[in-house]
Chain A
C-alpha cells in the first residue's frame, strides 16, 4: 500500500533517470550487436579461413545474440519504468489537487491522509476537532446533515482514490519488472527469446502510456509518418520495444525504425517456431511393404494419422524457418570472402512468418538512396524459397551500383502479398488483385519516408505474376513509381503502357528467348481487346502495348538476373535512370 506521505514525497523523476540509464544500456547493446557481426566478424573472415576462425566467429555470433537479447529486454525495462513514472506522477497530481482543494476550504490534511476540520458547532463544544478518512464508497442511509463532514469525506475519498491508483500501478509494474531479470547464462536459447515475447506482452499489459490503440491502423503512409514524427524520442523507443510487430509493419516509418522492430520480431518468431517444430512428435514410418494378397506398398495408419495432424504444420514451420534463416544469412553475410564485393547493410522493412510469410528486405537504405528499385516476385514466391528472391536483388544492386557513377542505390525484395502457388492458382487474378493495394501502400510508404530533399528515383520491377500485380496496382489505385520494368510478363490486366501510372516512355519490358510464360498467360492476364472479329490479348511484349522492349541475352523464364547478362544490365540502367544506354531488343 502506498501511503499518503510516500505518494506526496515521491520523485517520479528518479524513476525516469533510471529509465534513461536502461536506455543507455539498451542502445549500447544494440550498437555492439551490429558492430560484432557487421564489422568484427566480417572483417576477420575476410582475411583468415580455417576451423580456428570459424570457432572464433561462432563466439562472436553468440556474443551478438546476447547483445540483441539484452537490447530487447533492457528496452522493456526502460519502457516499464517510464510507464510507471507517468502513472505515479498522475496519481501524485490527483493527490496534490485534492489536498490543495481541501486546504482552500479550511480543511487540514494530515500526513496519514485524514482530513480534519474544526467544528464551531456550539452543540459539541468539547469535541471541536473532527476528521474523516477516505474509504470505499458506502451506502449513505439518509443524508448527512453536516455539510462540512460531507465535503471532508469527498476530499478524503479523492485522496484515497489517488493512493489506490498509485498502489495498483506500483503492484502491476512490480510484477512486470519481476519478469525482466537477466539470467546467468551467456547463451541466449530459443526458450529465452520465446520468453522475451511473453515479457513484452506482460509489460504491454502493465504499461498504458504507449497503447496499441494509438498505433494508426488503415491510415495512409503519410499519416503514419506524421504520427511517428509527432512522438517524442522516448515514446518512439517505447513503441519499438512494446509493439515491434505493429511498428515494423507501418508503411511510411523510417527504414531504420522498421528494421530495428522487425529484427526483434524475427529473433522472437524464429525461436518460437523452432520451439513449436521441436514439439512436433517424430514422423512415423510412412510406407509398409505389401503383403500376400495385397502386394502394393501402402502408407501406414500411424503415418496417415500423424500427417493429418502435423503434416501441414510441420511444412509451414520448416518453410518459414528456412526463410528466417535466409534473412539472417543476408544480415550476417556469412559467405563474405577476400575480395568479395561488399554488399550494403540490409534493412528488414516488413516481416511476418504466418502462412506463406511476408518479408520485405532492402539492400541499402531506401530513405537515403538516390535510386531505389522495388521487386515484386511471382508465382511460388514465399518464405520457403526466399533466398532466391533475396539474391536477385543483390545481383541487381551490384549491376546498378556499377552503373550508378557514385550515386546511392537501394534494391528491395517485396514479398508483401500471398503469391499463387503451383499450376492452378496462377490462373486466377485474385492474388494479384488482393495484393495490389499493398504494393501501392508500400510504395507510398517509401516515398513518405524518403529523407532527402529530392524525392529520389523509384523503379518498380516485377517478374511473371508479379507484373500482373503491378498492373492491377496501377489499375485499382495509384502506383507512384517513376519507371516500371516487367520481366517475363503474362499480362498486366491493362492494355497500354500509358495505363500504368508512370510518365510516358517509362515502361520497360523484357521477354527472354524460351520464356513460355508470356505466351501461356496472355489469355488469362492479358488485356482483352476486339480487333474486327477477333479477340486479342495484349501483354507488355506486344508492340501495340507501347513499352520499350529491352534486349535480353538469357534463356527461359528465370534468367533475367544472371550476373553477367545484358538482361540484368538493362534493368540496372533503368534503375539508375541511364535510359540512353539501354539496349533495345528486337521486340
Chain B
C-alpha cells in the first residue's frame, strides 16, 4: 500500500468510534464510510480465521501422514507399548484439532454475519460471540484424565 493509500485509509478510520447500537452516532457520509470500514474489517477477520482453520487442517493431515507405519498394528513398531500409547495420543489430538477447526468455523461464520450486518445491535453481536456453538466431540474413547489428577498414564 502506498503512503497515500494508507494515509487515506487512516483518515477514514480516524473518526468517532463506531457503535453499532448507538442511535446518536454521527450522521451523514461519515457514518456510511464507517460502516463500510467495519464490514470490511469483519470480512477480513473472517478470511483470516478461515485461513487459520485451513492451516490447522493441513497440519493435522501432515500429522496423520506421519502416522503411517507408526500404528500399533504396523510391523515397523509392533509390540511397542509406546507405539500404542502414541497412537492413542494421536487420536486425542486429532479430535482436539478437529474441535479447534469447528471453533474456527463458528467464529468465522459469525464474523461473516457481522460483515453482512446480520446482527441488528451490538448486543446481538456480543451474544453471538459469547455463545460457543462449536460441537465438542463427545465420542467415548481415549482421553486424558482431568488436569490436576496427577496426569497418570493409563499404562
Cα–Cα, bound, A21→B71 (Å) = 13
Q: Pick the contact of B126 from A27, A52, A186 — CB < 8 Å? A: A52
Contact B13 A15 (CB under 8 A): no
Q: Pick the contact of B97 from A25, A184, A339 — CB < 8 Å? A: A25
Q: Pick the contact of B93 from A28, A59, A74 — CB < 8 Å? A: A74
Interface residues of B in 82-105 (CB under 8 A from A): 82-86, 88-90, 92-93, 95-97, 99-100, 103-104
Q: Given A74-B93, A175-B155, are A3 and B79 also a contact pair (CB < 8 Å)? A: yes
Residue of B14, B48, B143 most packed against chain A (CB within 10 A): B48
Contact A177 B52 (CB under 8 A): no
Residues of A within 8 A of B (CB): 2-3, 6, 9-11, 13-15, 17-22, 24-25, 27-29, 31-32, 35-36, 39-40, 43-44, 46-56, 58-60, 63, 66-67, 70, 74, 77, 81, 84, 88, 170-171, 173-186, 189, 191-192, 194-195, 198-199, 202, 338-339
Please list 29 pairs of residues, one from A and one from B, whose beta carbons are closer than 8 Å in the complex, sorted by A's number. A6-B80, A15-B83, A17-B70, A20-B66, A29-B59, A35-B52, A43-B41, A47-B40, A48-B38, A50-B20, A50-B21, A52-B128, A53-B125, A56-B111, A56-B125, A60-B107, A63-B104, A81-B86, A84-B82, A88-B80, A170-B81, A175-B153, A182-B95, A182-B144, A186-B103, A186-B136, A198-B151, A338-B13, A339-B14
Interface residues of B in 109-155 (CB under 8 A from A): 110-111, 114, 119, 122-130, 132, 134, 136-138, 142-144, 146-148, 151-155
Q: Given A50-B122, A183-B143, A338-B14, are A10 and B77 also a contact pair (CB < 8 Å)? A: yes
Classify the secondary structure of A's interface with B.
Answer: helix
Interface residues of B in 20-73 (CB under 8 A from A): 20-21, 37-38, 40-42, 44-45, 48-49, 51-52, 55-56, 58-60, 62-70
Return the chain B residue nearest A17 by Cβ.
B66
Contact B96 A70 (CB under 8 A): yes
The residues of B that contact A198 with a CB separation of less than 8 Å are 151
Interface size on B, residues (CB 8 A): 89
Cα–Cα, bound, A66→B104 (Å) = 12
The residues of B that contact A175 with a CB separation of less than 8 Å are 153, 155
Q: Pick the contact of A174 from B21, B90, B143, B153 — CB < 8 Å? A: B153
Question: Closest CB of chain A to B79's CB: distance in Å?
Answer: 4
Residue of A49, A52, A185 most packed against chain B (CB within 10 A): A52
